[in-house]
Copies of this chain bind each other. A is one copy, B any other.
């Protein structure tokens, strides 16, 4: 029989992001006076978030409960898991815990934001743990598309919460150990209250292939393209893959040139921390490239997602300062387009092909996320009481929930929650008992949160139809027209070739002003409204467009 004490204990799981789409991962685990926060990531803006650079979470719930928050525990060093730290730490100065490479990447960010001295940091080894208030957090080795990725076992008085982080099961990783399945099994055997699991690939059957497969492809390609210059684009953060490329280059007697700011930065950090080992005299500067024939060079570059400012884009469109694409180039895209980037990647492939280069993008990448069989394996080892699929769009999480049910977890203990939900779990019961703020905060330039949905809607209107500004001067205290109405537009039509239309607009505005005089309108709001409506109606009738119209009245 269960004791009363055990029955009364419950823990709260509060995702502040990451559940509405992929990105912006941050989840609070709360037990009485202890809150531990897993990850603190950004999201990349959606196509309709015009002008927005990054999206960060709203952590007002954490700020309100500042004294409870014991620290951030970070699963791995990808932007969607660490990128918001520089924005959040000034609001919430708590320690950060992570494995070595993850911490190296975080520290680089903190230095740039001038936060390094103010932030307490502790590197945790895989297999080790930290005690945070009433909780203990153990870091467990997993595999992912970045080194140092960990699952977190969070031991709370109400039970163990196992957060998988982003993971795959790679039995034969290129470097280091496979995921620690034995440790996960032992934790599972002792009893796991809930698993929060990566759902990214939950719609894909089977197993994600090992990184070893990509290594084999590289070797084949280097052997086949011996007489050519090779350029490989991949994610800078996939340090194992970059290491493998360096090894392959070395094997085939090629020098390596790193291109792109993040590639250079990340590989420098990874090398300093011992994650990447570069054979002597293999790495050369781009300035020395002319000292070697093409067939002795490999470029490893950023831009595999078609990012406009990245090194590969500049090579493709001919604006790279040092590197010109030649028909003798073989370009390997070692990544799949992230949803939304398909067109940008196609554009680059077209540009490179037009310059005569050979572009290869098949079998040159494997995913870093677990497919269905891997998810089944992890659930079977952990046998959690509750399954909480995270890290995915709804359809991915729904697919993961389906797998959990197939494995015998009853429906009422498979939880498809939303960002902001306060999910309270005990052995007996799991339910959403509250709701906290879980907004997206937009970062635009240095501005944080000063651009919101209304501003974005304005930008959308401006982007589709442009703007018309109507100015007029009225005599103080009267509605006598002194000057104007004048009309200026941007993003509307070619003014030079639309002189007639602009004339008509002026006439329409003038009529509206005259109507206001007749009606003896004094209120500017009314006069502006009259002008706006008149132009709006005229333009819709005439050319079926709805530009933003701003009447401006100056009183002199």
Q: A residues bordering B, Cβ < 8 Å?
A: 46-47, 50-51, 339-340, 342-343, 346, 349-351, 353-354, 359, 393-395, 398, 444-447, 450-452, 454-456, 458-467, 469, 471-473, 482-484, 486, 488, 490-494, 497-498, 501, 542-545, 548, 550, 552, 554-556
Contacts and interface: CB of A to CB of B under 8 A. Distances in A.
A395 B545 contact: no
A461 B492 CA distance: 13
Contact of A491 (B346, B462, B542, B543): B462
Contact of A483 (B346, B501, B555): B555
8 contacts: A340-B342, A351-B394, A445-B543, A445-B545, A446-B544, A447-B543, A451-B493, A461-B491
A233 to B, nearest CB: 15
A556 B494 contact: no
Interface-central residue, A346, A452, A459, A548, by most chain B CB under 10 Å? A459
A461 B51 CA distance: 9
Nearest to A497: B450
A394 B351 CA distance: 8
Given A342-B339, A463-B459, A463-B460, A446 B552 contact: no
Contacts of A454: 494
A552 B394 contact: no
A462 B467 contact: yes
Contacts of A462: 459, 462-463, 466-467, 490-491
Q: What's the number of copies of this chain in the assembled complex?
A: 2
Contacts of A342: 339-340, 342
Contacts of A50: 463-464, 491
A318 to B, nearest CB: 15
A163 to B, nearest CB: 23
Contacts of A555: 483
A293 to B, nearest CB: 26
A418 to B, nearest CB: 10
A472 B555 CA distance: 10
A473 B545 contact: no
B556 A482 contact: yes
A451 B498 CA distance: 10
B554 A395 contact: no
Contact of A445 (B451, B473, B544): B544
A514 to B, nearest CB: 19
